[in-house]
């Protein structure tokens, strides 16, 4: 099994932290050579029977503007080329314009979209359900996975879940 996974989300939600953790825990290749302007390969997660290639989608959070259109469109083209999308949000931040913009564009996505709520170490567990329900009013997610990228909570479960859809 193998597949490409795009990680998208507003700045500072913890995308790089998650990638670093995945790469640190498992045999992985950090590839600079494989980069293109469109898809930036950040890390490869490999087990005996699965390979997940994680890609960054720079500029996807940026508000629409004439100048920004090209970058934003490139990022969304990248999304059309992957097998799954992780939409990452931060448990300690309210849903904002950036999140709404991303979800508008993910509505018509025909690959699985996973809502990953990061930084659960920063909030009381009771806060998660209302947050999940709020996001689910915007769009339907394949799965919702709460994690802490810094603590490592539930990261293994996220990887197993992703593998299941490859
Ligand atoms: P990115 O812009 O989405 O790539 O976000 P980064 O990975 O650079 O993380 C932004 C900040 O959030 C950094 O200071 C991280 O240490 C912090 N951060 C990331 N994940 C977590 C988490 O699970 N818990 C906490 N408390 N902080 C986190
Ligand atoms: Mg980053």
Q: Over the stretch 61-113, which tens digit does the pLDDT of each residue have?
A: 555 555 556 656 666 776 778 899 999 999 999 999 989 988 988 888 889 99
Q: Tell me, in angstroms, the distance from the centre of ligand 2 to residue 31's CA.
A: 16
H-assigned helices in 29-89: 69-80
Identify which of 9, 118, 149 to mutate to test ligand 1's pocket (most ligand atoms within 8 A of the CB). Answer: 149
Q: What is the CA radius of gyration of the chain?
A: 15
Q: Which residue minimizes the CA distance to atom 9 of ligand 1?
A: 14
- 114-124 tens-digit pLDDT: 999 999 999 99
Strand partners for 146: 117
98 is in an annotated binding site: no
Question: 118 CB under 6 A from ligand 1?
Answer: yes
> pLDDT tens digits for 17-76?
898 888 765 433 444 444 443 456 667 888 888 889 888 765 565 555 555 566 566 667
Cβ 121 under 6 angstroms from ligand 1: yes
At residue 103, the pLDDT reads: 93
Q: Ligand 1: which residue has its CA nearest to atom 17?
A: 14
**CA of residue 165 relative to chain centroid, distance:** 15
CATH code: domain 2-164 is 3.40.50.300
Q: Is the CB of 119 under 6 A from ligand 1?
A: yes
Verify whether ligand 1 is closer than 6 Å to residue 1 (CB atom).
Answer: no
Burial class (CB in 10 A: 0-12, 13-18, 19+), 11: exposed
> How far apart, in Å, do the first and last CA atoms of the chain sit?
6
Residue 19, pLDDT score: 86
Q: Is 58 annotated as a binding residue?
A: yes
Is 95 marked as a binding-site residue? Answer: no
Q: Would you state the pLDDT for residue 38?
A: 43
Q: Give the pLDDT of residue 94.
A: 96
Between residues 77 and 2, the one the model is more confident about: 2
Residue 9 CA, closest ligand 1 atom number = 3
Query: What does residue 141 show for φ and ψ, rounded to 5 degrees?
Result: -110, 145
d(CA 15, CA 165): 20
């Amino acid at each position: 099994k193998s597949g490409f996974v795009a990680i998208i989300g507003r700045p500072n939600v913890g995308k790089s932290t998650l990638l670093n953790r995945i790469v640190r825990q498992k045999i992985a290749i950090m590839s600079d050579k494989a980069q293109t302007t469109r898809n930036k390969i950040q890390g490869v997660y490999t087990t005996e029977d699965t390979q997940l290639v994680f890609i960054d989608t720079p500029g996807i959070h940026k508000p629409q503007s004439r100048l920004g259109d090209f970058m934003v469109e490139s990022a969304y083209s990248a999304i059309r080329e992957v097998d799954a999308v992780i939409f990452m949000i931060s448990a300690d931040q309210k849903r904002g314009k950036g999140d709404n913009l991303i979800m508008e564009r993910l509505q018509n996505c025909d690959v699985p979209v996973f809502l990953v709520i990061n930084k659960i170490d920063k909030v009381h567990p009771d806060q998660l359900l209302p947050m999940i329900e709020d996001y689910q009013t915007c769009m339907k997610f394949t799965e919702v996975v709460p994690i802490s990228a810094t603590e490592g909570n539930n990261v293994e479960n996220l990887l197993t879940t992703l593998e299941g859809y490859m």
